[in-house]
Amino acid sequence: MNTNKNMCVIGLGYIGLPTSAMFAKSGWSVTGVDVNPLAVEKLNKGEIHIEEIGLKELVENEVEAGRLRAQLEPTEADCFIIAVPTPHNEDNSADLNYVIEATKSMLPFLKEGNTVIIESTIPPRTINDVIAPILKEARWKPGKDIYLAHCPERVLPGRILIELVENTRIIGGINEVSAQKAADVYRSFVKGSILVTSAVSAEMSKLMENTYRDVNIALANELVKISEKLDVNALEVIQLANHHPRVNLHQPGPGVGGHCLAVDPYFIIEKAPEQSILISHSRKINNSMPEFVVSQVKKLLPDIDSKIAVFGLTYKGNIDDVRESPAMNILSLLQTEGYKLGIYDPHVQQDQVNFYISTFEDALQNAECILVLTDHNEFKQLDEESILNKMKNPVVFDTKNCVVINSSDIIYFGFGNLDKIKALQKA
């Protein structure tokens, strides 16, 4: 375990807050930094501002033990971790402003021998071409008197506290000694393998992990479109194909969202646009799925005065994260078409969105279709009695292949029987 015990984590979001709490649990004295006063205030009370299984109890324990606190500005530490968001610009290139500002904010507090780790997802060569020059301009020598590394997060929302400990960690240093210093930091609590490499390889590996999944999902989504044209059950095709020992087709859906899959491929594309043809086309396919979903809804409900009960706003099930969620794009498209909407998501708070979130019952009232866009556990077994009593037309269109319908009086559509939606249009 690293003998340096003071840590400053800049960014207390979906990655920074769990990471801070885990380091505190392992014995570090951790100061979390965020520009959001509410996040700082809540953490200092032992509360959390995001949803993640087990995080509330962990934060409460570590704050009470005096190992975890928060403030608005950095402080001196032995190790600095930057875990701020990396959004994309309108042209989908990486917006590095948060990372750059976070790096500059810690400069007054750096001292010789510190380890600086960037956990934020960044394009290839950002450590070498952006972060290192900032340190050099402040008269530090990265790799000599300040150790600089990239350690990308690789966790699944809903399992973050488990995967922070168990997953393999990739540590990319600006040089060998930086990588080893950063690896020592993570050995505080990581039980998975720790792989040491160069900063650029670490940057690229993180992006390719998510790009692989994005491309695979694009293949599944393209299969859905082909199957709709040919009257084939896409879900059955995937199930059958995956019986091959070397085939692992992913599941299709209404699009791809979140801070990783929907964003990371663009960071590769911007660095090598002419060479990343497959990656670019996959992004276009996945981005086209909201329009495809709405086109199916229009076949189901040609009358735009119809009401739709939209179930699910987040980009994946059982979390509260709506970042880059295709559900939000689908909502916008449906509103543009003129449909009445009852919107329900049990995991999203009203202050996270700029439109009204209904209750389950209100969303169903007089609706002619339930459109399921997220695979929350709450949606897998719906209250069928309420559906039959409150809906004008008991129809479910499930884009996540997650809903189990038992009543023969409720009509079910999904990506496995799009031919039946087409038949409705012809009738």
Residue carrying the six token digits 């708070």 = 349
Please report, to the nearest 10 degrees, the dihedral formed by the alpha carbons of residues 237, 243, 247, 251 taken in order: 50
79 classed as catalytic: no
Counting DSSP H helices and E strands in the chain, the numbers are 18, 13
**235: number of Cβ within 10 Å:** 19
Active site residue 206: yes
Residue of 181, 206, 307, 390 with catalytic role: 206
Nearest 10 degrees: CA dihedral of 201, 206, 210, 213? 60
- Write the single-letter amino acid at 333: L
From 8, 79, 151, 260, the catalytic residue: 260
Rg (CA), the chain: 24
Three-state DSSP class for 29?
strand
Give 14's contacts (C-beta < 8 A, 6+ positions apart).
50, 52, 157, 160, 259, 321
Tokens of 407: 């009543």
CA pair distance 151, 416, nearest whole angstrom: 40
CA distances from 61 to 24, 73, 151 (A): 10, 23, 26
**In the structure encoding, which two tokens stand for residue 420, read together?**
């039946």
CB–CB of 86/97 below 8 Å? no
Cβ partners under 8 Å of residue 412, min gap 6:
395, 396, 398, 403, 405
Calpha distance 372→425 (Å, rounded): 21
Q: Nearest Cα to 59, choosing from 119, 93, 19, 94?
A: 19
φ/ψ (deg, to 5) at 393: -145, 105
For residue 267, how far is the Cα from the chain centroid?
16
The catalytic site residues sit at 206, 260
